[in-house]
Chains A and B, each alone.
Chain A
């Protein structure tokens, strides 16, 4: 056994103690160094990101997560990486691991509120039916419960309002939408929340409340996109539902132009309010902007229904299938050969009516399809409630369906009119609750009828009374409270005001 001499013991004791001393100091120094490194890595990534060197930025931030996971920058980096995946890469799935980690490891960090919100928004986007919104709503509620003072609360409340709206829970939707602007005055969310509240109020049958709320949007955020949207919605609601002036034929539109189209057969409105026209002799659709028609999308001979997706892409339903402006291939429509109308719901599903099929066929975004029991339908138009307005000539009824395809309002043909009509050639909706029907037959004859969101008759006129003698095949409600008719015989459009 080695025994150290007494002279040697103090230095030896000191040497023994050194590692312990070093260890005691090490965490502090290492922590400070980590902090410095994390700081530098974060800002380096930020610089790269600002110059759109995304690869360099994300690599740098990933390195930060590896080397300094306890740094104050780690939750911020996770949030930024998630946002990058969503906003730049358009890969929401790739964002989720970052958001999961943010929630599980950094729930106390202030960035967790935004992370929960984003996660909820991704889940809401993925939802394909009301029940799918459950997890998204849980995330929004977590934001409110865990971070009541966070700025993300305003957006979370608005998202909850939309989720309740999409489930048809109008009262709860209204509560959340009102709280989203009442509890967050002046926030960026406020105009959107007010707008949402206005639309919900309309769904609840409170037209004055809806109009006051839209006016509030215009007064408090006059420069916002919602204020622009509110302006035309107020105009059409007041004109169709309150003023209800008799229709007046303004003649060929726009600007009195005649014989300028090649057999126009279908009309539809794009999300921005532009009119879409399908010209049968040209086999393609055109966008009418500033009185000029420009070709839109690929040729689609025999198009029977025309619609625009929420992002503005043109969809045309033909005998051969669905021709999409934003997709290369034609998608088959299960052999539906007599398509009489189509609409996209807010879950991304395409509802198709066929004049020879006694059911509605629903094509889901993931490619699957199902049928919903229905009489044979002659026309179809989407409703802002998420449901549909459909016309069944066989039953001589106009039906207002809910988002599940179940009838909520039934309006017999000719109700409240001086005389009944027999058929509905086309239906159109304006997005603000009004539904226009192009009708024919019976004692009423050929003409137009406008219904409110509750099925009430708002305005009507016969073509005879208006002096219209062409062959009208389609119609559209414009954003000024007017009605555009498509006259295939005379190759022109007519506007009723």
Chain B
């Protein structure tokens, strides 16, 4: 799409450039045909074609083309004047010329005296002559507020006119004149200097110029031949420099000149006090900006990622030592499912490495209509929500795109896993906004907030950032906080823990040589350790390896966003294998059960096989499958019964986590109820 757009612009520019060249060629041919070959008709035809091309757009023509058009009228008037058939048309040509540019003077070497006199007479019927002198020259002349070339002679329509002549560093001069037929008035502009000016050229152009921290604009365009004395000594061509940029009013004293341009190091110069006093015009040496770049490397363990820097594709990952201009970027890596986004700043001459882990993408569809107090603030908060999200890649809304269209687009492109839509709740006075978070598969939840509260998106951001873990480190033991016991009291332990020397029925006094008094402290030690933990119980020490214990996601929790959680699990599922993948499937099924999508949950559970038999394990999967079948109604009673019976084969399977309730008594009761 983008390529086609650029192609069309390129072709148009090429066509225009080609057209201009052809027109100029026609114009030159016309001159030559008559001057060298005396081909009056051929010349007239060509001048006519030039006029036909330029006259309709005369108001918007560049000065160069105005000149071509004026000359064409002049030549046509002369040619027509020499043709008996077309003689009358000469006057029309002259009138068109006067209307186009009254300041244009005929080529009197080319034009007969009679025709020139007629031209002067026609001009004198509408315009008066004003003879101008400028001291100093090089300033800007305006007539009735409109800029016009500062020529020594100008023709102005009869009536009252205000002429202003201004030049940087000088006080402007103005004069108001009343012109009557046959008037010819002189005007001498003599400006008084008020301050110094500084003219500068930059290489390259498009550089923002700051003086004392205040932006004065951009040095843009290309310098003309007048810059050659400055450019050539530096080994540059004049067109390599920007057009002159004039700092107009340099107050007395020192000044700080700062030049900024993307991809270049910011340049800071001091303008000495001697530049400001005495007042004079100064031209600085051309200022050459030095490129500023850094290296960016982005990799990912997930396949198929494509890197975008501030919206522009940089290619597929991994990308190593990518040379990029220094500065801030919005990094986005698009994966086949999910995305990674981060705001980074590449520093000059430095390397930055990123490891991209795909996160679910949350596309903001927009804030729907309905005016309310604080709407602008609320909208701004929504648009900056991405800055507060650690677990999701935030995609801002497309400007002007209605939410419904955005949703259709996203469903077609699958460029996001989640959408967010804000809808004012209709009321006499709107003071509630509903925030809808949904997956593209339709699992959705709503949160109603008050737009005028201090941070109306706090709860949403917290929910979107909360991602429960599917594992916890454990030692294979159950411990209790028993009042009166000096430490966590061991209720039960797995076979390996017992073999390692752990004693059931005794408190744990120390973990890793630090005393512990509660189960919470023991769990903290488990969470912060790696490998194994040494425990002390009444003088006996045992070392237990840490194991990863499976967990179920909490259901019905008000601090979680279940659409976001499903999106996370779906992404995780794509890159997982073995028991890990099956545990994710179990939890995905739980998430779907939360939305009462029992059939979808069964599909997942049926494919899931856990090799473990204790804690959240195969029996847990079978039990949940039985529950899902029960929810599907009496048609699936036999399947439900089969699943519950299957779960009874795993008497140590639990719900929630390793210390959760056993599945077996629940399954037994469910089977009893099915009888």
Q: Report B497 CB to chain A, min CB distance, Å.
A: 15
Partner of B482 from the list A172, A175, A197, A235 (CB cut-off 8 Å) is: A235
| 12 A–B pairs (Cβ distance < 8 Å), ordered by A | A171-B665, A171-B669, A178-B666, A182-B656, A206-B665, A212-B480, A212-B660, A215-B479, A231-B483, A235-B482, A235-B483, A243-B505
Partner of A208 from the list B478, B484, B555, B673 (CB cut-off 8 Å) is: B478
Closest B-chain residue to A218, C-beta based? Answer: B481
Task: Let me know if A238 is at the binding interface, CB within 8 A.
Answer: yes
8 Å CB interface, A155-174 against B: 171-172, 174
Task: Let me know if A232 is at the binding interface, CB within 8 A.
Answer: yes
CB-CB under 8 A from B659, the residues of chain A are 212, 215-216
CB-CB under 8 A from B559, the residues of chain A are 186
B492 x A208 contact (CB < 8 A): yes
Task: Let me know if A18 is at the binding interface, CB within 8 A.
Answer: no
CB-CB under 8 A from A201, the residues of chain B are 661
Task: Let me know if A234 is at the binding interface, CB within 8 A.
Answer: yes
A182 x B483 contact (CB < 8 A): no
B519 x A186 contact (CB < 8 A): no
A238 x B478 contact (CB < 8 A): no
A178 x B655 contact (CB < 8 A): yes
A186-B666 in contact given A148-B596, A231-B481 (Cβ < 8 Å): no
Task: Let me know if A204 is at the binding interface, CB within 8 A.
Answer: yes
Partner of B669 from the list A175, A187, A197 (CB cut-off 8 Å) is: A175
Task: Let me know if B557 is at the binding interface, CB within 8 A.
Answer: yes
Task: Let me know if B213 is at the binding interface, CB within 8 A.
Answer: no
CB-CB under 8 A from B558, the residues of chain A are 186-187
The contact string, 1 if C-beta is below 8 Å from chain B, for chain A 406-435, is 000000000000000000000000000000
CB-CB under 8 A from A218, the residues of chain B are 481
Q: Report A335 CB to chain B, min CB distance, Å.
A: 45
Task: Let me know if A213 is at the binding interface, CB within 8 A.
Answer: yes
A187-B556 in contact given A171-B665, A171-B668, A219-B520 (Cβ < 8 Å): yes
Query: In the complex, A204→B492 CA distance in Å?
Result: 19
A208 x B672 contact (CB < 8 A): no
A172 x B480 contact (CB < 8 A): no
Query: In the complex, A232→B484 CA distance in Å?
Result: 10
Closest A-chain residue to B659, C-beta based? Answer: A212
Query: In the complex, A183→B655 CA distance in Å?
Result: 12
Task: Let me know if B613 is at the binding interface, CB within 8 A.
Answer: no
Task: Let me know if A185 is at the binding interface, CB within 8 A.
Answer: yes
Partner of A172 from the list B492, B554, B660, B673 (CB cut-off 8 Å) is: B673
Query: In the complex, A148→B594 CA distance in Å?
Result: 10
Query: In the complex, A316→B665 CA distance in Å?
Result: 41
A185 x B554 contact (CB < 8 A): yes
Partner of A212 from the list B489, B491, B520 (CB cut-off 8 Å) is: B491
Closest A-chain residue to B504, C-beta based? Answer: A242
Query: In the complex, A214→B659 CA distance in Å?
Result: 11
CB-CB under 8 A from A171, the residues of chain B are 665-666, 668-669, 672
Interface centre among B481, B492, B555, B558 (most CB of A within 10 A): B481
Task: Let me know if A480 is at the binding interface, CB within 8 A.
Answer: yes
Query: In the complex, A232→B673 CA distance in Å?
Result: 35
A183-B481 in contact given A174-B665, A215-B659, A219-B519 (Cβ < 8 Å): no
Task: Let me know if B670 is at the binding interface, CB within 8 A.
Answer: yes
Task: Let me know if A211 is at the binding interface, CB within 8 A.
Answer: yes
Closest A-chain residue to B559, C-beta based? Answer: A186
Task: Let me know if A396 is at the binding interface, CB within 8 A.
Answer: no
A172 x B655 contact (CB < 8 A): no
A186-B482 in contact given A209-B661, A213-B661, A219-B520 (Cβ < 8 Å): no
The contact string, 1 if C-beta is below 8 Å from chain A, for chain B 387-421, is 00000000000000000000000000000000000
* Chain A: interface residue total (CB-CB under 8 A): 35
Task: Let me know if B536 is at the binding interface, CB within 8 A.
Answer: no
A186-B484 in contact given A208-B478, A209-B662 (Cβ < 8 Å): no
CB-CB under 8 A from B481, the residues of chain A are 215, 218, 231, 234
Chain B interface category by residue count: 20 to 34
Task: Let me know if A319 is at the binding interface, CB within 8 A.
Answer: no
CB-CB under 8 A from A346, the residues of chain B are none
CB-CB under 8 A from B491, the residues of chain A are 208, 211-212
Task: Let me know if A184 is at the binding interface, CB within 8 A.
Answer: yes
Query: In the complex, A480→B660 CA distance in Å?
Result: 26
A480 x B484 contact (CB < 8 A): yes
Interface centre among A148, A183, A215 (most CB of B within 10 A): A215
CB-CB under 8 A from A234, the residues of chain B are 480-483
Chain A residues within CB distance 8 Å of chain B = 148, 154, 171-172, 174-175, 178, 182-187, 197, 201, 204, 206, 208-209, 211-216, 218-219, 231-232, 234-235, 238, 242-243, 480
A185 x B480 contact (CB < 8 A): no
B557 x A185 contact (CB < 8 A): yes
Partner of B662 from the list A184, A206, A214, A231 (CB cut-off 8 Å) is: A206
Query: In the complex, A95→B355 CA distance in Å?
Result: 62
- Name the 7 nearest CB pairs between A and B, nearest first: A171-B669, A185-B554, A185-B557, A184-B556, A235-B483, A212-B659, A183-B556
Q: Report A406 CB to chain B, min CB distance, Å.
A: 21
Closest B-chain residue to A178, C-beta based? Answer: B661
Query: In the complex, A231→B482 CA distance in Å?
Result: 7
Interface centre among B519, B555, B673 (most CB of A within 10 A): B555
The contact string, 1 if C-beta is below 8 Å from chain A, for chain B 531-558, is 0000000000000000000000011111
CB-CB under 8 A from B670, the residues of chain A are 175
CB-CB under 8 A from A243, the residues of chain B are 505
Query: In the complex, A184→B662 CA distance in Å?
Result: 18
Q: Report B306 CB to chain A, min CB distance, Å.
A: 38
CB-CB under 8 A from A232, the residues of chain B are 483
Query: In the complex, A215→B490 CA distance in Å?
Result: 12
B480 x A238 contact (CB < 8 A): yes
CB-CB under 8 A from B478, the residues of chain A are 208, 212, 215
CB-CB under 8 A from B661, the residues of chain A are 174, 178, 197, 201, 209, 213
A175-B662 in contact given A182-B555, A185-B557 (Cβ < 8 Å): no
Query: In the complex, A241→B480 CA distance in Å?
Result: 15
Given contacts A211-B491, A242-B505, 7 further A-B contacts (CB under 8 A): A154-B556, A172-B669, A174-B669, A187-B556, A209-B662, A212-B659, A480-B484
B483 x A480 contact (CB < 8 A): yes
A174 x B483 contact (CB < 8 A): no
Closest A-chain residue to B506, C-beta based? Answer: A243
Closest A-chain residue to B595, C-beta based? Answer: A149
CB-CB under 8 A from A208, the residues of chain B are 478, 491-492
The contact string, 1 if C-beta is below 8 Å from chain A, for chain B 543-582, is 0000000000011111100000000000000000000000
Query: In the complex, A243→B559 CA distance in Å?
Result: 40
Q: Report A337 CB to chain B, min CB distance, Å.
A: 43
8 Å CB interface, B590-606 against A: 596
CB-CB under 8 A from A185, the residues of chain B are 554-557
Query: In the complex, A113→B557 CA distance in Å?
Result: 19
Query: In the complex, A204→B665 CA distance in Å?
Result: 9
8 Å CB interface, B635-659 against A: 655-656, 659
Query: In the complex, A480→B482 CA distance in Å?
Result: 10
The contact string, 1 if C-beta is below 8 Å from chain A, for chain B 469-482, is 00000000011111
CB-CB under 8 A from B596, the residues of chain A are 148
Q: Report A173 CB to chain B, min CB distance, Å.
A: 9
Q: Report B170 CB to chain A, min CB distance, Å.
A: 70
Query: In the complex, A148→B656 CA distance in Å?
Result: 21
Query: In the complex, A185→B668 CA distance in Å?
Result: 24
Q: Report B297 CB to chain A, min CB distance, Å.
A: 41
Partner of A186 from the list B505, B557, B656, B673 (CB cut-off 8 Å) is: B557
CB-CB under 8 A from B669, the residues of chain A are 171-172, 174-175
CB-CB under 8 A from A212, the residues of chain B are 478, 480, 491, 659-660
Query: In the complex, A234→B489 CA distance in Å?
Result: 11
Query: In the complex, A172→B665 CA distance in Å?
Result: 10
Q: Report A443 CB to chain B, min CB distance, Å.
A: 32
Closest A-chain residue to B481, C-beta based? Answer: A218
Query: In the complex, A357→B662 CA distance in Å?
Result: 45
The contact string, 1 if C-beta is below 8 Å from chain A, for chain B 280-310, is 0000000000000000000000000000000
